[in-house]
Structure 1
Amino acid sequence: MRVVRPGFVPDPSLSREAMETLQREIAETAVFEDDLSVDPETASSDSEQTTLSGEAASAPLVAGVDQAFVDDRAVSAVVVTQGGAVVERAHAVERTEIPYIPGLLSFREGGAILAALERLEHDPDVLLVDGSGRIHFREAGLATHVGVTVDVPTVGVAKNLLCGAPERPLDGGFPEGTRVPIHADDAIETATAGTHVGDAVQTRQYDSPNRHVNPLIVSPGHRVSAETATDLVLATAAGYKLPEPTRLADRAADEAKTEVP
């Protein structure tokens, strides 16, 4: 997978002001509407696709992207799945040249992700990235930055809410399948207040009143609407909190980091 917009490749040597300016440009370039060939219903592991002639068709390639860390190095892993089966794995290791700064994660981890994507032999139809997409101070989270740079439909799958206003409190969790819309608030400087920027999505829940699973924070990264982003995450959930492609990428990143000297 190649870089389509080299001017957006994350440069950790930039000043904070320059990074934020670049993120605004990325947000202007990003498409937060559906521009993809993937039907969420066909992305699940048990889906069956047929052509109009009744012949079997290939399920879409859905890739999960996640990171692990070894000292000052980021280990990015990509796992490409098709109909629930693993098609390909790749990983890359890059130095993290800046510390973690809320809102600027892509400048710390983006280089490793792009390097891992470049090693793929297959071009995924959609990427599920462990990180924020449009739910970001400048609508340019890690998933948006990566998606726009390689120009591939991308979804951000985060574990914590960075900004935005959910329609109801998220503590305590919800029944499986619940989606709670999240709207832009004053913390998102580039979006009109009230814009639907993503959802809190309950992919798994305990059948117990004494413990609960918190929802995932799902938002469009690029060429995907908020509704479709959530549909894709729910379709690829397979009994775990994380959708299966990112769960597999999380495991692959942990395995890959054991090889880092």
Structure 2
Amino acid sequence: MEVARPEYVPDPSFSREEMEALQDDIAADAAFADDHGIDPDALRLTDTVEDEGDYDPDGGPVVVGVDQAFTDDESVSAVVAIQDGRVVARETGRAPLEIPYVPGLLAFREGRSIVTALDSLSVPADLLVLDGSGRIHFRQAGIATHVGVVFDAPALGVAKNLLCGTPRRSLDDYYREGTRIPIEATDRVSAPIGTVIGHAFQSRQYPNPEKRHVNPLIVSPGHRVSAETTVDFVEALCAGYKLPEPTRLADAAADRVK
């Protein structure tokens, strides 16, 4: 993949004020509407992805999962490309950990290793699926938005915890598999109050609510994908596990590389 907007590549040497100003610019350039030409049904997986194969230029869409692991002083990113139910490419990237974790500034801590990994990817990416938030972010520029705009690629974020915004229903209740709960912007988000900036999505659930339950995923558009289609994509890419296959495989790959 080629970097489309090098001026937005995360720079951990920036001050906090510079980082936040850059995020405002990224959000202004991000598109939170569908601009990808992908039918979610074309991505639907009926089983986990275990086979490897060659990229087919005439095949289906290529979905690239992105996840990170850490050593004491490095961020290690793994990207795994899936096409037609097979892994067709893998790459990794490394970068020094130069700043601590700060809520809302994740891309500046982990982004350089992600950019390195994606820049090395030999196959085109039709959709990026990142571990983290997209529009569900104080300045509408989470790591999925940041990376999506850097590469001008359709992107979405899948997080385990809600960074900001308000769900229309409590996330502490038991919900059946497939439930979608819109997340709305509050006055802590730069989007107009009430804007749907993502969803809580119940990708998997135990059948008996009296024994235990699975918490929903927090999914949000990154770039060139709408909030509603983001959930359609995640639902299509989950195949027996809570996480969608692209990020589940990328998570395992990052741990192996670490």
- Unaligned ranges ≥5, structure 2: 48-57
Tell me the equivalent position of 1:17: 17
Instruction: Provide the C-alpha distance between the structure 2 equivalents of 1:83 and 1:178, rounded to a whole number of angstroms.
Output: 26
- Contact map agreement 2:166 2:185 (CA 8 A) in 1: yes
- Contact map agreement 1:46 1:83 (CA 8 A) in 2: no
Q: Aligned with 2:219: secondary structure?
A: strand
Matched, 1:217 2:247: no
- Contact map agreement 1:173 1:215 (CA 8 A) in 2: no
Per the alignment, do residues 213 and 98 of structure 1 end up closer, same or farther by CA in structure 2, a change over 3 Å counting?
Answer: same
TM-align CA RMSD: 1.1
- Contact map agreement 1:151 1:222 (CA 8 A) in 2: yes
Instruction: Provide the C-alpha distance between the structure 2 equivalents of 1:155 and 1:16, rounded to a whole number of angstroms.
Output: 24
Instruction: Provide the C-alpha distance between the structure 2 equivalents of 1:218 and 1:197, rounded to a whole number of angstroms.
Output: 9
Superposition deviation, residue 72 in structure 1 = 1.6
CA displacement, residues 117-171 of structure 1 (integer Å, 9 cap, x when unaligned)? 0111101100000000000000000000000000000001000000001000001
Superposition deviation, residue 44 in structure 1 = 1.4
Superposition deviation, residue 186 in structure 1 = 1.1
Tell me the equivalent position of 2:35: 35
CA displacement, residues 66-98 of structure 1 (integer Å, 9 cap, x when unaligned)? 000011200100000012211111111111110
Instruction: Provide the C-alpha distance between the structure 1 equivalents of 2:125 and 2:46, rounded to a whole number of angstroms.
Output: 19
Tell me the equivalent position of 2:151: 150
Normalised by the size of structure 2, how large is the TM-score?
0.94
- Unaligned ranges ≥5, structure 1: 48-56
Aligned 1:37-186 pairs, distance under 5 A: 37-46=37-46, 58-186=59-187
- Which residue type is aligned with residue 18 of structure 1? E
Report % sequence identity. Answer: 60
- Which residue type is aligned with residue 88 of structure 2? V
Q: Aligned with 2:134: secondary structure?
A: coil
Tell me the equivalent position of 1:252: 253
Instruction: Provide the C-alpha distance between the structure 1 equivalents of 2:130 and 2:231, rounded to a whole number of angstroms.
Output: 13
Superposition deviation, residue 46 in structure 1 = 4.4
Q: Aligned with 2:252: secondary structure?
A: helix
Per the alignment, do residues 149 and 173 of structure 1 end up closer, same or farther by CA in structure 2, a change over 3 Å counting?
Answer: farther
- Which residue type is aligned with residue 116 of structure 2? A
Instruction: Provide the C-alpha distance between the structure 2 equivalents of 1:61 and 1:219, rounded to a whole number of angstroms.
Output: 19
Q: Aligned with 2:25: secondary structure?
A: helix
- Contact map agreement 1:238 1:244 (CA 8 A) in 2: yes
- Contact map agreement 1:44 1:83 (CA 8 A) in 2: no
- Contact map agreement 1:173 1:202 (CA 8 A) in 2: no
- Contact map agreement 1:5 1:148 (CA 8 A) in 2: yes
- Contact map agreement 1:114 1:146 (CA 8 A) in 2: yes
Matched, 1:200 2:207: no
Instruction: Provide the C-alpha distance between the structure 2 equivalents of 1:3 and 1:80, rounded to a whole number of angstroms.
Output: 17
Superposition deviation, residue 115 in structure 1 = 0.2
Instruction: Provide the C-alpha distance between the structure 2 equivalents of 1:42 and 1:185, rounded to a whole number of angstroms.
Output: 34
Superposition deviation, residue 112 in structure 1 = 0.4
What is the number of equivalent residue pairs in this alignment? 247
Q: Aligned with 1:214: secondary structure?
A: coil
- Contact map agreement 1:199 1:217 (CA 8 A) in 2: yes
CA displacement, residues 20-73 of structure 1 (integer Å, 9 cap, x when unaligned)? 0000000000000000021111111249xxxxxxxxx62210111000001120
Instruction: Provide the C-alpha distance between the structure 1 equivalents of 2:116 and 2:140, rounded to a whole number of angstroms.
Output: 23
Instruction: Provide the C-alpha distance between the structure 2 equivalents of 1:150 and 1:26, rounded to a whole number of angstroms.
Output: 12
Instruction: Provide the C-alpha distance between the structure 1 equivalents of 2:97 and 2:26, rounded to a whole number of angstroms.
Output: 21
- Contact map agreement 2:66 2:77 (CA 8 A) in 1: yes
- Contact map agreement 2:46 2:239 (CA 8 A) in 1: no
Instruction: Provide the C-alpha distance between the structure 2 equivalents of 1:135 and 1:241, rounded to a whole number of angstroms.
Output: 20
- Which residue type is aligned with residue 136 of structure 1? H
Q: Aligned with 2:181: secondary structure?
A: strand
- Contact map agreement 1:45 1:85 (CA 8 A) in 2: no
